[in-house]
Amino acid sequence: MAKILAMDYGKKRTGIAVTDDLQIIASGLTTVETKNLIPFLQDYTKKEVVELFIIGEPKQMNNQVSQSEALILPFIEKLKEKINIPIQRVDERFTSKMAFQTMIDSGLSKKKRQNKALVDQISATIILQTFLSGR
């Protein structure tokens, strides 16, 4: 089997998580500056077999898409042009709050919890685990 790679897309940074080859466990991989995201993904998919990209879909409480969706859609179009891997979307409501709570629950210091890159990476892991649990 191949890996599934999930992204918590952001204007400045994008958190990335990936499954193991059996697609059982979601693990944080890294956080990448969004401006370098497509080159990172191109390089990663040359080294690793990835069968699916999961991209968080930000929604508001009333189920309407949030404002950041306007940034994500052009990225998805560009990604489709550059890399031929299917893309699925997963509702990412509350992932940042869940990531922050996970950091508290795991005993990370206040200083480490202020690391937004780590929050993004944990958010991507939650998005990926949500996908895995739902299939």
pLDDT tens digits for 26-78? 999 999 999 999 999 999 999 999 999 999 988 776 767 777 788 999 999 99
* CATH-assigned architecture of domain 3-134: 2-Layer Sandwich (3.30)
pLDDT digits (tens, 9 = 90+) for 76-118: 999 999 999 999 999 876 666 666 676 566 776 777 666 677 7
Closest CA relative to residue 127, chosen from 1, 10, 2: 10
What 8-state DSSP symbol labels residue 66?
A: P
What is the model's pTM?
Answer: 0.86
Angstrom distance (rounded) from CA 92 to CA 128: 10
Domain boundaries, the chain: 3-134
Within 10 angstroms of residue 112's Cβ, the number of other Cβ atoms is: 11
